[in-house]
Structure 1
Amino acid sequence: MGSTNRNRWSEAGTRPVRIANVSGGKSDPGYQMLRQATQGDVDFLTGDYLAEVNIAENAVAYARGEHDGWEPSALEGLTMSLSSIRERQLKVIINGGALNPGGLARRVQSLVMAQKLELKVAYVFGDDLLPLIKDNLAHGDLPAHLDSMNQDISLSENSFDLKDFDKKYAVSANAYLGAGAIVKGLEAGADIIICGRVADASPVIGASWWWHKWSSTDYNQLAHALIAGHLLECSGYVTGANFSGFDEYDQDDLIDIGFPIAEVAADGTTIITKQKGSNGIVNEDTCRSQFLYELQGDVYLNSDVTADLREVHIQQIGKDRVKVSGVVGQPPPSTTKLAIFYNGGYEMEFVSNATGYATAEKWKLFEAQIRYFLKLRGYTDKTFQLLDFQVLGVPAHDPRTQFSSTTYSRIFAQAESEEPLRMLFRAVSDHGQQHFSGFHLSWDLRTVMPKPYLAYFPAIYPQDALKHGVALLSEDASDKQRFDVAPPKKYQVLAPRSNYETASPEDLRAWETVKAKLGDVVQARSGDKGANINIGFFVRRPQHYRWLQSFMTRDRMRSLMGKDWRDGYFIERCEFPHITAVHFVIYGPLGRGVSSCRLLDSLGKGFADFVRDRIVDIPKVFLDDIPAIREERFAWKRGSGF
């Protein structure tokens, strides 16, 4: 369990480093840090508290002095865990500092002093580029869009109109920093390092890099650590959460699941596991799912290293133990990601319900009525940034309850000013007594009234222009020492992302097929990256993979999206043969990103299960294999067959 009688840091480099995740988002509670600190033998606690919009959503309040700038759950975890961290000689690296990593570090330093603990606290600085970016924007200098290298896609939905800069002003601009400052802090003796917007995997890369004394050009090792960090960064997502195969396991095993641990060896190869006795699942399926999550193809870019993923292997080696290997490292790109959030305007939504008979005709009438009232007052689609009429749900055949007979409509609208949105609400109100039969409301003025929204511009920024580093605090919480970080020694020129169909596809007519849901034989995971949805599919039998490769083409992906496909979208496709997976990036469906997306599923997380629910032609022999596959998946719990 770790104790003050053992100097674990004398073991650095002599064994794999054990890195425990304590958070995958700001909602993960503080006690998860305490659990990882006390329930097993680990060396590092790392946590990812930031989604892309976290920093932006508090930026205005922080600038006004109305917000601390850090994530409260990060402080909660440290407050609960400091004494255990000291007792067990652990080190902590988290990005919960958000807008104000120095402020959180100083707050933690005060707790350390109050409890008379011998812990050194540091913070990473240099990710906040807002003053510089505001100045550049004011002079008409807009950074390049993250997807600008791809000449096949349209960036119109993600445009940032410079002539309206006085209205659409930036509220945050943060560069995704690498692990260099973290390594510097550990070398200076820091026990707790508070970061702001570092890359999600940087805490794990930094811990592994320092422990094994790698150099900045040990690219294969760094690339493996990058993927270890990617697997850990979403906490429970690799131990059974957000997992399309959940229905193959006992529900009780998926309640209050344990968070993951990565054991990173000197060569970078990694074993993913969790605390013994904790709920959850660590097997090839959960690890493949998280590996495929939020990828942008078969090359993973990071500030410290580029990871070539084409030869990745994911292999079960024991109960709740999965080995990840085969990642190839290359020099990093010369740029890093820069997340710019700006005031996009105003938005509102209006929700109403329809019950029963002739539902489709009812919603057609409703939209026509609203558009008529808007047109009378001189408002068209061009008046709005976005005016979207959405129908959600399908009434049950022969419904047994009114709930099962009910669908709802969501009008989602955005505009430069509040006035068009208020007129839209006026149009809804004016038509109030002209509604179709069965109409009723879900009335909520919090959503009906216009409110400001943030839009997202993912950009790139030169690594050589970054000025960042780490500050070690003194006992009085002032900066005792500051260490600047040099840019990477070497870069590589980026090539266009891989985009290909499978070589020598099988003739799909060779299989005897039956109509079934794609998800009956195929697992998947999807997520967001700015405007784009990424989705990875995999099968659990090697003999099923040739069919998946041949079946899941770009055209098939378009077809499976059905009426959700739009002509402005673009698809990239690649394969991961050693983990029997096919991966797609679909450019465009999420508009200007999560904070302003028109979709209910603004993070793209539900997309995979929508596609898996589609009825397709499945080889009958594959469906015959499913009972045996499900039995294998139960074996992990019994400890037999892992």
Structure 2
Amino acid sequence: MDTVSATVEKMLPKTNGVNGVNGANGHSATNGTAKRPIRIAGCSGGSSAPSSPYTYSDQFVGVYDRKRAIHDMAKNEDVDVITGDWMSEANMTLRGSDKREKLGSGTLVGKAYEPYFLEELDPAIPWLAKRGVKIAVNAGASDVQGLAEAVRGLVTKHGVNLKVAYVDGDDVTDAVLDLYKKGEKFLNLPANQSIQEWGYEPLCAQCYLGGTGIAACFEGGADIVVCGRVADASVTVGAAMWWHGWKRETHVQELAGALMIGHIIECSTYATGGYYSGFKDLGDQDTDMGYPIAAVDEKGHAVITMEKGKHGLVTPATIASQLLYEIQGDLYYNSDVTASLSDIKLEQVGKNAVKVSGVKGSPPPPTTKVGITAKGGWQAEFHFFLTGLDIEEKAKMIERQTKATMGEHLSKFSCLNFTVAGAVPEDPQSQDEATVDLRIFAQSRDPDILSASSIIDSDRGSFARFCIENLLQGYPGSTMAPDMRQAIGRPFFEYWVSLLPQSFVKETAHLHDGTVIDIPCPSVTQEYNREQPDLPVTPNAVDLSQYGPTTRAPLGYITLGRSGDKSSNANLGLFVRHDDEWDWLRTVLSTETLRKLLGKDDAGRQIDRCEMPNIRAVHFLLKDHLDRGFNATSGYDSLGKNLCEYIRAKHVDIPNKFLERGRV
């Protein structure tokens, strides 16, 4: 037995049965004794579909995890349930649009579920059947019934007896469109604007479901449960609800703990060293990260470990990093429960083993998040390479010439940005080092101005021609990117995130035998303020002079962190390794300080701040910081992931005593 398994084994109650599983079908004993923890693996962290439904092909689906994940976990690890998060705002818009196109024309442009899931599942099926391992994923996107049928086909192919069920009800298009026509404002979460100010016509809508339907499917005997847009962490919540017999109304604390465990493992190797600010701790052991496994006990606490014999780390720092990813503040909302992170505790209990506890629970809100999709128009981009001296002046020349060439066509662009990426160092040591990229990004509701045919027809206005025609009268060294495919327009979506009363959601669990179970909305809910609590400065400030001499250095020399997106909101969490550094960090890192660190990127919009003392973290929610979110953004940091690394690179006065401990 490896060190990780031995550590966890000491902490868990002894059980009987194959692979340590109690009772038939892997379910816990019901004799009144404490049930052993359920071991849940996180094996997928998302799937990003292409931006255009008109260029859709299964081969071009972007997937963020390795094909081996489900197979290896089912074959080699003692787990009870394998989970996966396959949903993102990108495929919510594309798959939802595909579904509406199907309803309108009778033909489906592309599959409305995530087909890559089937490729991962296929080789794992014999091992799932042999070892009694169950699966819950949200890869159904906008066609969960279709995915369930496809999974049943794979089960038949392998000649095994696995029961497939699915959860439906996340498509709330009809309800949202009806409310929209009646004047419902659907205030968006980033900026509190009404949907009537949006300027786009809603096409489809999908809401976020909890884990109760998943629990019902498992309770009904399912081995594989596929879902549409259940929240990322809901697959873990549903599995734990089923195993421990929890109910929404009576197990609030336990569900809150499971919710945050689900959040930690929902992005797979993000919890085991992927996207980790302290990545240098991995050395060169970073080519095959192990997937996380959470042993969730009857209290909603968990010990998180990882696959045996793989690269990666499970430490309070790697877990804190993922904990701080894509949260909104102290409160974390779900359709089943609300979790408070203020007292969360992370404790190293063995090599690559961290215990998570201290999450506080309260009832869920009466609403759930809903994403509303509209067709945004067409977008394209063009790239020039600038080298050497006078980069700013060269960039201004490109912008001047391009806009002059556009003339009256300039008004046809809803977005036109000229952005320089990079900077030339003094006395560069190579030509590559001395070269930066200038990106011209354009969006328009007029497809002709971005079309391929208009490039050839000189009598028509064309974005690409506007950029190319100045090449021979351009800046010194004028060089364009040779690949013109990006300069041809492709459709994009606008995405509006709001709240919908859970009473409008008609969730159903479809069992393997055809039984359909209605999943009612929660009977006990709690109203919450629309905005998270805000703490612009710490109430526990310390005298910074006590730390002695300082040196101006990058903040990231002593801090770790993570950032992410939720529509056009960005979140940023920064934390330190030592208690005295924590007192320093929360004193220094006020909202005003963050605005200074943002520099030119501070748009003056709302920023909410909170503290998480147990993990020595300061967290910020930057409202409407990203340009409309992933689907339509004109920026480079489309998912908010690089915000943290930008702020960590900013210079502040750091006590020398901290720097002497060694940089992150």
Residue 520 of structure 1: aligned partner: 557
Q: Distance in 1 between matches of 2:148 and 2:113?
A: 10
Does the 8 Å CA contact 1:29/1:73 hold for their aligned counterparts?
Answer: no
Q: Distance in 2 between matches of 1:17 and 1:435?
A: 65
Shift of 1:472: 1.3
Tell me which of 493, 498, 502 is aligned to 2:533. 498
Residue type of the alignment partner of 1:441: M
Q: What is the count of residue pairs matched by the alignment?
A: 607
What does the per-residue CA deviation read over 1:590-639, in whole Å, with 9 as the maximum and x for residues that have no partner?
Answer: 12210111111100111111111112211100011127xx7xxxxxxxxx
Residue 474 of structure 2: aligned partner: 435
Residue type of the alignment partner of 1:405: A
Cα 1:105/1:378, change in 2 over 3 Å: closer
Structure 1 residue 236 and structure 2 residue 257: aligned? no
Structure 1 residue 24 and structure 2 residue 63: aligned? no
Does the 8 Å CA contact 1:55/1:172 hold for their aligned counterparts?
Answer: no
Residue type of the alignment partner of 2:239: A
Residue type of the alignment partner of 1:618: I
Tell me which of 155, 162, 178 is aligned to 2:210. 178
Residue 399 of structure 1: aligned partner: 428
Task: Tell me the SS of whatever aligns to 2:511.
Answer: strand
Residue type of the alignment partner of 1:499: D
Task: Tell me the SS of whatever aligns to 1:621.
Answer: helix
Residue 452 of structure 1: aligned partner: 491
Does the 8 Å CA contact 1:230/1:291 hold for their aligned counterparts?
Answer: yes
Residue 572 of structure 1: aligned partner: 608
Residue 574 of structure 2: aligned partner: 537
Q: Please, which moves more after superposition, 503-512 or 138-147?
A: 138-147
Q: Distance in 1 between matches of 2:222 and 2:27?
A: 15
Unaligned runs of 5+ in 2: 1-17, 48-62, 451-460
Residue 331 of structure 1: aligned partner: 363
Task: Tell me the SS of whatever aligns to 1:2.
Answer: helix
Shift of 1:473: 2.7
Task: Tell me the SS of whatever aligns to 2:662.
Answer: helix
Shift of 1:15: 0.5
Cα 1:160/1:531, change in 2 over 3 Å: farther
Residue type of the alignment partner of 1:11: S
Residue 483 of structure 1: aligned partner: 517
Structure 1 residue 417 and structure 2 residue 446: aligned? yes
Residue type of the alignment partner of 2:641: K
Does the 8 Å CA contact 1:44/1:91 hold for their aligned counterparts?
Answer: yes
Does the 8 Å CA contact 2:306/2:314 hold for their aligned counterparts?
Answer: yes
Shift of 1:270: 1.1
Residue 150 of structure 1: aligned partner: none
Does the 8 Å CA contact 2:378/2:445 hold for their aligned counterparts?
Answer: yes
Task: Tell me the SS of whatever aligns to 2:170.
Answer: coil
Residue 247 of structure 1: aligned partner: 280
Residue type of the alignment partner of 1:132: A
Tell me which of 55, 69, 74 is aligned to 2:117. 74
Residue type of the alignment partner of 1:486: P
Does the 8 Å CA contact 1:4/1:88 hold for their aligned counterparts?
Answer: no
Residue 469 of structure 1: aligned partner: 508
Residue 169 of structure 2: aligned partner: 126
Tell me which of 292, 296, 308 is aligned to 2:328. 296
Residue type of the alignment partner of 1:124: V
Q: Distance in 2 between matches of 1:8 and 1:275?
A: 23
Does the 8 Å CA contact 2:326/2:565 hold for their aligned counterparts?
Answer: yes
Residue type of the alignment partner of 1:332: P
Q: Distance in 2 between matches of 1:278 and 1:430?
A: 53
Cα 1:603/1:4, change in 2 over 3 Å: closer
Shift of 1:130: 2.1
Residue type of the alignment partner of 2:44: S
Q: Distance in 2 between matches of 1:472 and 1:8?
A: 16
Q: CA RMSD in A?
A: 2.1
Residue 637 of structure 1: aligned partner: none
Shift of 1:138: 4.5
Residue type of the alignment partner of 1:78: L
What does the per-residue CA deviation read over 1:171-213, in whole Å, with 9 as the maximum and x for residues that have no partner?
Answer: 4311100111111111111111110100111110011111111
Shift of 1:455: 1.0
Residue type of the alignment partner of 2:447: E
Q: Please, which moves more after superposition, 3-12 or 332-341?
A: 3-12
Does the 8 Å CA contact 1:30/1:80 hold for their aligned counterparts?
Answer: no
Shift of 1:450: 2.1
Residue type of the alignment partner of 1:607: L
Structure 1 residue 388 and structure 2 residue 424: aligned? no
